[in-house]
Structure 1
Amino acid sequence: MKAPRPHNAEQRRELWESCGVVLDDLAGRALVLNLPAHGEGLGEWLTGAARHGTPFHISLQ
């Protein structure tokens, strides 16, 4: 599924929630395994980690 790039915090939160990830003040980090993604930066890091089977931690910051 390809989604449009979020432009603000609300859109980012909605995108995560559409994938079953609920973000709040208590859930500030997510552990991601084998989830390739599109785009520069985080997308490249997630794809590289997925290619090597490496767990990847994502934070809200």
Structure 2
Amino acid sequence: MDTVSIAGAAQLMKTAQTQQVLSTTLMKQAAEQQNQIVNILAQNAQQTPQPAADSNYNFSTYA
């Protein structure tokens, strides 16, 4: 193998590694954003008052 081939192969490997790092970083950021959304939804669910029982609105699945 000549020097140019070795350098080209090394550059391709370095590029592939860089792309993998970027992909991993993007996946981590997406997971962190989803975790933040889950936390916000959980907080909203805790703050939302439970509906009061009202006998005027009975629901039946039978026709």
TM range (shorter): under 0.3
TM-score for both structures, normalised by structure 1: 0.23
Give 1 or 2 for the bigger CA radius of gyration.
2
Higher relative contact order (CA closer than 8 Å, sequence separation 6+): 1
TM-score for both structures, normalised by structure 2: 0.22
Which structure shows the bigger proportion of residues in strand conformation?
1
Which structure shows the bigger proportion of residues in helix conformation?
2
